């Protein structure tokens, strides 16, 4: 069974992909922006804060309500559907963390 996407999972992914180009801080200069994809529908969503403004890191708060499973007392999104994966958009294409890391490695 797939695990839901949570803030803690995003943190673990950031640790796992550190120094590979699979995190926002390491691939921004190459034109990648953080985004999410719903693998059930193929829909891609930019990473936004709760107000709808773009943010330079993966943030669950700006995802559409139909993807949100749980919110904190402060109304922050804590968990979203398991079909949501973190990745990046560059030139209109979605890249998984693995694909972004491979692209960065190939460009170096």
Please state the pTM of the whole predicted model.
0.94
Q: Answer whether residue 1 shows pLDDT above 70.
A: no
| pLDDT (average), residues 40-51 | 97
What distance lies between CA 89 and its chain's CA centroid?
10
Q: Give the domain extent around 90.
A: 5-107
pLDDT of residue 108: 80
Average pLDDT, the chain: 96
> Could you tell me where the beta strands, DSSP code E, fall in the chain?
5-6, 33-38, 44-46, 68-71, 77-80, 84-90, 93-96
Reported as a pLDDT band with limits 50, 70 and 90, residue 84 is very high
Domain count for the chain, please give it.
Answer: 1
pLDDT of residue 42: 98
- For 91: left if phi > 0, alpha if psi spans -120 to 50, otherwise beta; the answer is left
- Cα separation, 75 vs 101, in Å, equals 32
């Amino acid at each position: 069974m797939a695990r839901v996407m949570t803030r803690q999972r995003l943190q673990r992914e950031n640790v796992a992909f550190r120094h590979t180009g699979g995190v926002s801080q390491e691939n921004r200069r190459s034109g990648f922006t953080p985004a999410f994809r719903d693998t059930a529908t193929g829909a891609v969503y930019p990473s936004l804060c709760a107000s709808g403004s773009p943010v330079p890191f993966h943030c669950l708060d700006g995802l559409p309500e139909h993807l949100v499973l749980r919110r904190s007392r402060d109304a922050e999104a804590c968990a979203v559907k398991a079909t949501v994966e973190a990745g990046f958009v560059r030139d209109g294409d979605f890249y998984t963390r693995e694909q972004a890391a491979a692209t960065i490695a190939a460009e170096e």
